[in-house]
Amino acid sequence: MLKLPIAHKLNGLYRTHLILPCRAMSTANTGSNMPNHLTDTLPTSAIPVFTTLNSLRAWRRKASDDRRTVGFVPTMGALHDGHLSLVNHSLANNDLTVVSIFVNPTQFAPHEDLATYPRTLPRDLELLSALSYTVEDSEGNANTARERTPSAVFLPSVQEMYPSGVSQQVSTQKGTFVEVKGYGEQMEGKSRPSFFRGVATVVTKLFNAVEPTNAYFGQKDIQQGLLLRRLVRDLLLSHPDPEHLHILPTARDAADELALSSRNVHLSPAERHFAPALYAALKAARDYWDAGHSKDDTVKVALQSFEKSRQDFAGEVDVRLDYIDMNDVETFDVVDGNATSAAGKPIILSGAVWLGTTRLIDNIILGDDGTIIG
C-alpha cells in the first residue's frame, strides 16, 4: 500500500516526498507520472500535490466540511493555454479548484503514442502556480478582494488508479471498466475502438476521487465531453451532475486558429504550417451548410478545401485524412445525406488528420450550440 505523501511547506512552496514500498518497483508503470526511484521527489510546487487517493480524500472531506465548492479540470499534463483557460474558468466559478495530471494507459491502443505522449510535470506545476483569479466583494471594493489560485494537484500513479493492474490490450484486462454502450463506436470511436472505454473508466474514477461540484472539458474533444455528460446522467452521479459538467470553447492559436493540443509539439515546422488546414476546411463547410445546402454537399466542400491545401503542400508533408463528417449531437450517428440546416438541430462537424505520426482533431458545432457549450 502507498503511504500518504508528506507535504513540506518551505517559503510558501510544497515539496512532496513519495514513500513507496519496494514491491511497487516491480509493478508496470506504463504511462505513470510518478518517479520510479524510492528516493525521488516531485518538483517543488506552490500548490499541494496529492499522489494518493487517501490524501486527496482527506483534503476533500475538509472542503466539504467547510462547505466549499470544488471545480475540477482533468488533464494528461503537457499543459497549454487551452488547459489553463479551463482552470481559470474553474477559479472564477468555484471556491476551490483541483487539477489532475494522469496519462491514462487504457485510452491508448497498444500501437498508439502512450510512450511518446509529452510529459512536462515541472513546467505544468509552474504554469498552474502562476494562475490566479481576483474575487471582489459584492460592492467591488478592491481592499477586500481576495485571490483564488489552484488549490490542489492530483498526481496519481497507474497503480493508484488501477489497483487490480492494467493492460493496454482490452482482451487481457481484468477488473472493473466502464463502457457507454452504443455511443463510443462512432466518430473518434470508429478510428480508436478502445478509446472511450478508457476515457469513461478513468473519468469515473477521477469523479469518485475528487467529487467535483463542477467539471470542465474542452470542445476540441466534443464527443468525449458529450459522452461523459451521458455517463454521469446514466450512473446517477451527483458530483458532478450533468448540468455541472461544462464543455468550453476550443482554445486556438491567435495567429492561425489551430486548436491547441499537447500533441502539437510533435509537429515539424512544415506540419505545423499545414495543420490549420483542417479547421479551415470545417469553416468552409460551415458556411456552405448555413447557406442551406445538404449534408452530403457540405462534406464535399470540406473535403475539397482540405484536398486543395494538401496539394499546396505536396511533397512537404505526409498527410493522411482520417475523416471529415457530420454527426448527431445525441446519438453520434452520421447525419442523413439529404439533411439541411432547415431542421434547426445542432450538428457536430468534425474531422481528424494524420500529419506524419501525429494525429490532430477538430470540430465545429453547426447551429445553436447553447445547450452544448457552456
Which of 248, 280, 307 is the endpoint of a domain?
248
Position 155 in a domain: yes
Q: Are residues 227 and 298 in the same domain?
A: no
pLDDT tier, 346 (very low <50, low <70, confident <90, very high otherwise): very high
**At 323, which helix (H) or strand (E)?**
strand 319-328
Position 30 in a domain: no
Neighbouring-strand partners of residue 353: 321, 360
Model pLDDT for residues 293-304, shown as the tens digit of each residue: 999 999 999 999
Q: Are 361 and 323 in contact (CB under 8 A)?
A: no
Q: Are residues 297 and 351 in the same domain?
A: yes
CATH of the domain at 213: 3.40.50.620
Q: Which residues contact 80 (CB under 8 A, 6 or more apart)?
A: 251, 260, 261, 262, 264
Q: Are residues 233 and 348 in the same domain?
A: no
Which residue, 59, 45, 49, 51, is CA-closest to 12? 45
Residue 8 has pLDDT above 60, yes or no: no
Which of 213, 248, 283 is the endpoint of a domain?
248
Position 25 in a domain: no
Residue 246 appears among annotated catalytic residues: no
pLDDT tier, 139 (very low <50, low <70, confident <90, very high otherwise): low
Dihedrals φ, ψ of 162, to 5°?
-130, 75
> What is the C-alpha separation between 326 and 366, in angstroms, rounded?
9
Position 10 in a domain: no
> What is the C-alpha separation between 330 and 327, in angstroms, rounded?
9
**At 288, which helix (H) or strand (E)?**
helix 277-290
Q: What value, to the nearest 5°, has the Cα angle with vertex 247 and ends 203 and 327?
A: 95
Which of 219, 248, 277 is the endpoint of a domain?
248
Model pLDDT for residues 233-273, shown as the tens digit of each residue: 999 999 999 999 999 999 999 999 999 999 999 999 999 99
> What is the C-alpha separation between 261 and 33, in angstroms, rounded?
19
Q: Are residues 200 and 302 in the same domain?
A: no
Q: Are residues 197 and 77 in the same domain?
A: yes
Q: Are residues 306 and 207 in the same domain?
A: no
pLDDT tier, 141 (very low <50, low <70, confident <90, very high otherwise): low
Domain range for 114:
49-248
Which residue, 173, 51, 33, 154, is CA-closest to 106? 173
Annotated catalytic residue, options 8, 17, 37, 83:
83
Q: Are residues 195 and 323 in the same domain?
A: no
Position 12 in a domain: no
pTM of the model: 0.89
Position 59 in a domain: yes
Following CA atoms 89, 93, 98, 104 in sequence, which dihedral angle do they give, to the nearest 10 degrees? -50
The residue type at 226: L
Position 29 in a domain: no
Q: Are residues 221 and 284 in the same domain?
A: no
Q: Are residues 145 and 272 in the same domain?
A: no
Q: Are 77 and 124 in contact (CB under 8 A)?
A: yes
Q: Are residues 243 and 317 in the same domain?
A: no
CATH of the domain at 361: 3.30.1300.10
Position 28 in a domain: no
Model pLDDT for residues 44-96, shown as the tens digit of each residue: 889 999 999 999 999 999 999 999 999 999 999 999 999 999 999 999 999 99
Which residue, chain included where needed, has cell 482527506?
Answer: 58
What is the domain count for the chain? 2
